[in-house]
Amino acid sequence: MGLSVKLYRYAGLKLSATQLATALKKIKYSPKSKKDAAAGFTKVTASGKKVIADIVAGFRVPVLSYDKDGNLTPVHYVSIDKGTAYVKTDKGTVEVRGSERIARRFKSLVEDATGAKLTPLNLNGGTKKIYDAAADIASVLLSGVEKGNLTQAEFRGIGIQNEDEIGLYTRRYKGEITRFRGTFPYPSGAFLTTTVNAEAGSLMIYRTGEGIYEKDLNWIVDLMEDAALAQR
């Protein structure tokens, strides 16, 4: 129903895009059996200062099943996830399109192979920009609030972006929008519902009609990355 995107900032990556692509190509996805929770890459390419890597990983999932005596016993299956990662050496960022667990697996593989450190990109700056442009917002979580013992404030409802209290909490009590779910226009003209978890560097963009256009996806990722990098 939607596309999950995880954004990272990396540090300590000393390889060029071509060198990184060569290193990742060595980590091939080659499970030994259907029950092998292997992880690796099926395709890696370098283009300019960007590396694009298709990752596949297996995850063991316990499922309760009845045995021949009618008793429930755990049986382990392997669930396969796929995703695509974009390492942007000019920006020092990584974009992973896929589930949260495939993003974690990619992070682990890259850190082990290169010695680099990947940390979630803080999306507070970009979140504020798309919040202001939203046509409708369903929920907002403010964090870092300095109001007595209050450190967080959550708002839910119809048209809550017009509530004066949200502005009050951000201006007077130094709160930041760390999570929100809303619908706003993308460059193609499509109105897409999007959930942002700013502190975790995560986006969930929900498909509608023909789906999600590549230019729309690139637009919101660039917006988030550029706003985060400007806060350095």
Q: Residue 29: what residue type?
A: Y
- In this structure, the answer to whether residues 94 and 182 fall within a common structural domain is no
Task: Work out whether the CA dihedral 82, 105, 96, 86 comes out positive or negative.
Answer: negative
Same domain, yes or no: 224 and 144: yes
Per-residue model confidence (pLDDT) at position 167: 82
Return the structure tokens found at 184.
């706003």
Same domain, 154 and 226: yes
Contact call for residues 140 and 180 (beta carbons, < 8 A): yes
Residues 179, 183: Cα–Cα separation, whole Å: 14
Domain boundary among 120, 135, 170: 120
Radius of gyration of the chain (CA): 20
What pLDDT does residue 232 have? 62
Determine the residue type at 121: L
Please check whether residues 66 and 98 belong to one and the same domain.
yes
Domain shared by 116 and 131, yes or no: no
Neighbour-count burial of 68, counting CB atoms closer than 10 A to its CB (0-12 exposed, 13-18 middle, 19+ buried): exposed
Same domain, yes or no: 21 and 116: yes
Tell whether 42 and 108 lie within a shared domain: yes
Domain residues for the domain of 193 are: 124-230
The DSSP call for residue 161 is: G
Q: From first to last of the 232 residues of the chain, give the pLDDT tens digit.
A: 799 999 999 999 999 999 999 999 999 999 999 889 999 999 999 999 999 999 999 998 888 888 788 888 888 889 999 999 999 999 999 999 999 999 999 999 999 999 999 999 999 889 888 888 888 888 999 999 999 999 999 999 877 766 677 888 888 888 888 999 999 899 999 999 999 999 999 999 998 777 899 999 999 999 999 999 987 6
Name residue 175's amino acid: G
Q: What is the pLDDT of residue 207?
A: 86
- Among 69, 103, 120, which residue terminates a domain? 120
b/e code 175-205 from CB counts within 10 Å (16+ = b): bbbbbbbbebebeeeeebbbbbbbbbbbbbb
The per-residue pLDDT for 13 is 93
What pLDDT score does 72 carry? Answer: 85
- Is residue 116 located within the same domain as residue 132? no
Q: What is the DSSP code string of 114-153?
A: H--EEEEPP-HHHHHHHHHH-SEEEEEEEEEEEETTEEEE
Residue with tokens 């369903």: 138
Write down which residue in 120, 137, 158 finishes a domain: 120
d(CA 177, CA 133): 14
Query: How confident is the model at residue 61, as a pLDDT?
Result: 87
112 and 181 inside one domain: no
Let me know if 135 is exposed, middle or buried by CB neighbors in 10 A (0-12, 13-18, 19+). exposed
CA torsion sign for 107, 80, 208, 100 is negative
Q: How many domains does the chain have?
A: 2
Shared domain check, 207 and 182: yes
pTM over 0.85: yes
Shared domain check, 130 and 112: no
DSSP-based three-state secondary structure for 181:
strand
| pLDDT reported for residue 8 | 98
For residue 115, what are the contacts with CB-CB under 8 A and spacing of at least 6?
12, 14
Same domain? 32 vs 97: yes
Alpha-carbon distance of 174 to 223, in angstroms, equals 23
